[in-house]
Amino acid sequence: MDDAERSRLRTLMGHFATGVTVVAARHGPLLAGMTANAIATISIDPPILMASIARKAETHVAIVGSHAFAASVLADDQQELAECFAKRTTAAKLTGFCGAEWHEAETGSPILESALAYFDCRLTARHDGGDHTIFLGEIVAASYRTDAAPLLWYGSQYRRLADAPA
């Protein structure tokens, strides 16, 4: 695929609205997280979440090493966090976790304190997905809050839900 075809594919895929998450894992001293929109529920029984992660990402290394990951769903006031975690390796990202407050649930993976929702997953399988690995994780802990709306990604821009009509 040449650069023009890649660009066209990105534009086409940009017409699929998604939520914005930070997928994170911790393996030893490595605390890694990245902005991701390629996550999906695969099964309700058992509860399984899928995350597609680039092989060259620090988060990939941490997931493989820890056999776990967490997905924090971002609220519409967390665009700054989404932008920080979307950057390639930076000192703020690796040593300061983008300044985000976080806690651990069952697997030890980092979960953003102010996330709209989170899914804490124990790795159950991984599959080749081109330049990504498709990780499947059984959801072992999850929670959500009802006082915020989600941050969305559409057309290569962050978006927010419009107020529902009266």
Contact 40, 92 (CB under 8 A): no
Place of tokens 């990105």: 10
| pLDDT for the residue 166 | 47
Q: Which residue has the higher pLDDT, 58 or 127?
A: 127
pLDDT of residue 155: 87
- What pairs with residue 69 in β-bridges? 121
- Sort 12 into a burial class: Cβ within 10 Å, 0-12 / 13-18 / 19+: exposed
Neighbours of 52 (CB within 10 A): 18
SS3 131: coil
The pLDDT value recorded for residue 8 is: 86
- State the CATH class of domain 18-97+107-142: mainly beta
Confidence of residue 92 (pLDDT cuts 50, 70, 90): low
Average pLDDT in the 144-154 region? 93
- Residues 28 and 36: their CA atoms lie apart, in Å, by 22
Average pLDDT over every residue of 39-68: 95
